[in-house]
Amino acid sequence: MPSALITGITGQDGLYLAETLLDKGYDVHGLIRGQNNPKLDLVRALVPDVRIHHGDLTDLSSLIRALRDSDPQEVYNLGAVSNVAYSWENVALTTDVTAKGTLTVLEAIRLHVDDDLSAIRFYQASSSEMFGKVTEVPQHERTLPWPRSPYGVSKVFGHYMTINYRESYGMHASSGILFNHESPRRGPEFVTRKISQGVARIKLGLQDEIVLGNLDVQRDWGFAGDYVEAMWLMLQQPEGGDYVIATGETHSVRDFVVAAFAHVGIDDWRRHVRQDPRFMRPAEVDLVVGDATLAREVLGWKPTVSFRELVEMMVDSDLEATRQGW
- Nearest-5° angle of CA 243, CA 287, CA 225? 45
The yes or no reply on residue 214 touching ligand GDR (CB under 6 A) is yes
Among ligand GDR, ligand NDP, none, partner that 279 touches (CB below 5 to 8 angstroms by kind): ligand GDR
Measured between alpha carbons, how far is 6 from 52 in angstroms, rounded to an integer? 10
The yes or no reply on residue 212 touching ligand GDR (CB under 6 A) is yes
Which residues in the 208-237 window bind ligand NDP by CB under 6 A?
Answer: none
The yes or no reply on residue 84 touching ligand GDR (CB under 6 A) is yes
Q: Which of 62, 82, 123, 129 is catalytic?
A: 129
Residues in contact with ligand NDP, shown as a per-residue x/- string from 14 to 33 under the rule CB under 6 A: x----------------x-x
| β-bridge pairing 27-32 and 51-54 | parallel
The yes or no reply on residue 78 touching ligand NDP (CB under 6 A) is yes
Which residues in the 172-201 window bind ligand NDP by CB under 6 A?
Answer: 178, 180-181, 187
CB 78 within 8 A of CB 40: no
Q: Considering only 11-19, 209-217, 281-289, 290-298, which stretch makes contact with ligand NDP by CB under 6 A?
A: 11-19
Q: Which of 151, 165, 227, 243 is catalytic?
A: 151
The yes or no reply on residue 127 touching ligand GDR (CB under 6 A) is yes
Distance set, CA 23 to CA 26, 72, 76, 182, 185 (Å): 7, 17, 16, 21, 19
Q: Is 189 marked active-site?
A: no
The yes or no reply on residue 82 touching ligand GDR (CB under 6 A) is yes
Measured between alpha carbons, how far is 242 from 238 in angstroms, rounded to an integer? 13
Residues in contact with ligand GDR, shown as a per-residue x/- string from 264 to 293 under the rule CB under 6 A: ---------------x-x--xx--------
Which residues in the 93-112 window bind ligand NDP by CB under 6 A?
Answer: 97
274 or 279: whose CB is closer to ligand NDP? 279
The yes or no reply on residue 159 touching ligand GDR (CB under 6 A) is no
Residue count at the site for ligand NDP (CB under 6 A)?
28
The 3-state DSSP class for residue 206 equals coil
Residues 6+ apart with CB under 8 A from 284: 148, 214, 217
CB 70 within 8 A of CB 3: yes
Exactly one of 18, 80, 163, 258 binds ligand NDP (CB under 6 A); which one?
Answer: 80
Q: Is 151 marked active-site?
A: yes
Q: Is 127 marked active-site?
A: yes
E-strand stretches of the chain: 3-7, 27-32, 51-54, 74-77, 121-127, 172-178, 181-182, 210-212, 218-219, 222-223, 242-245, 251-252, 273-275
What proportions of the chain, in percent to the nearest 5, are helix, strand and coil?
45, 15, 35
**Min. distance of Cβ 59 from ligand NDP in angstroms?**
8
Question: CA torsion angle for 283, 176, 308, 322 (degrees, to 10)?
Answer: -80
- Nearest-5° angle of CA 48, CA 15, CA 61? 85
The 3-state DSSP class for residue 127 equals strand
Identify the CA nearest to 60 among candidates 4, 101, 3.
101
Measured between alpha carbons, how far is 137 from 59 in angstroms, rounded to an integer? 38
**Min. distance of Cβ 256 from ligand GDR in angstroms?**
9
Residues that bind ligand GDR (CB under 6 A): 82, 84-85, 127-129, 179-180, 189-192, 194, 212-214, 217, 219, 253, 279, 281, 284-285
Give the catalytic positions in this structure.
Answer: 127, 129, 151
Residues that bind ligand NDP (CB under 6 A): 7-14, 31, 33-34, 37, 39, 56-58, 78-82, 97, 125, 127, 178, 180-181, 187
